[in-house]
Amino acid sequence: MTSASICHAVCLADSFRQEPLRKHFKTKQFKQSVFKADHLYLKHPGWGEAIIYLYGCAVFWGVERKEINQLIRTLKTISVDPYLEQVDEVYNIAKGEETAIIESDIILEGDDIEAKVAISYALAQAVKLKHYEDILTDTMPDLLTLPSDLAKNGRIRISKKNALKKTGEIFLVRAQINLHSDLLDTPEYFWERSEREEQMYHLVTHEMELGKRVRKLNHRLDIMQSTYDLLRTHIEHQDSLLLERTITILIALEIVFTIIQYVRPIHTL
């Protein structure tokens, strides 16, 4: 399989810095470049095409792996919060009578730039969504043990420090996903494009079941929110117990000191 018949979609970071991105790629090497509100289109006669989205994703059409790695290294230097592990999806490109995506094969009618951009939007959203899914996959197992622990033992055997760390993890995941939730909707780019391009975009999102995956993601987030509420209640309960114990100790000390002050005059007599 040659590079010309391969499409790579990658998710690298939370976002790319817009001005450094423009300055770097506005060179003679990338003379064929088009800047839009949320993406940069590049075409190089030597290696193919790339669509770089400001929200940390890029899609490469017919680009050699060596060139992709070089571009990824460059993009990481101008990215905000680069990910330790990038999400990388690879698709085979084939020519056909009708544009479609079947499993890992992308069927194209021709070499239309607008069609590639429309498809790339869906592919970029897919790898961004995959990044969020991976975060939840890594976070969920530890969190789900907490309700089980409560059911078996009647209490959560976790320290306040660890409970606070878990609530921080949940809050961070929700914040990341909510921050980019609009990326999983139909992009504004298609508002000024033909109906055919938007249909092409929806065709790919449907084939990749993005809507179903988003609903599943939201369901998992709801479970995480419930766990977060459980941990918060646990922390508040621990704080309440600590406060009660502190008050009890202070009252006990006050009684002891009162008794001592009362006993001392009797001994002096």
Domain coordinates of the chain in residue numbers? 3-111, 127-258
Return the amino acid letter for 237: H
Judge contact between 47 and 60, C-beta under 8 A: no
pLDDT at residue 184 in the model = 64
**In contact, 91 and 47? CB cutoff 8 Å:** no
- Backbone phi, psi, residue 186, to 5°: -65, 120
CA angle, residues 91, 78, 28, in degrees to nearest 5: 80
3 state DSSP class of 85:
strand
pTM of the model: 0.78
Given this model, what pLDDT does residue 58 score?
95
Parallel, antiparallel or unpaired: strands 6-16 and 57-61: antiparallel
The residue assigned the tokens 């009708």 is 98
Cβ contact 84:15 at 8 Å? no
Task: Report how far residue 33's alpha carbon sits from residue 266's, in angstroms, rounded to the nearest whole number.
Answer: 97
CA distance 188 to 80: 23
User: Which residue ranges of the chain lie beneath pLDDT 70?
Assistant: 1-4, 27-32, 142, 144, 147, 149-151, 153-160, 163, 178-184, 231-232, 234-243, 263-269
Given this model, what pLDDT does residue 158 score?
A: 66
Q: What residues contact 211, with CB distance under 8 A and at least 6 apart?
A: 205
Strand order in the sheet with 48-53: 32-35, 39-44, 48-53, 57-61, 6-16, 79-95, 105-108, 100-102
Taking phi over 0 as left and psi of -120 to 50 as alpha, with beta for the rest, 209 belongs to: left
Q: Which residues contact 170 (CB under 8 A, 6 or more apart)?
A: 139, 143, 224, 225, 227, 228, 231
**Phi and psi at residue 46, to the nearest 5°:** -90, -25
Q: Any idea which architecture 3-111 has in CATH?
A: 2-Layer Sandwich (3.30)
Check if the beta carbon of residue 54 is closer than 8 Å to that of residue 16. Answer: yes
Q: Supply 262's token pair.
A: 């009362």
CA angle, 133 as apex, 129 and 138 as ends, to 5°?
150
Residue 72 confidence (pLDDT): 92
Separation CA 51–CA 192 (nearest Å): 18
Give pLDDT, residue 1.
45
- In the numeric block, the tokens 């100790």 are attached to 249
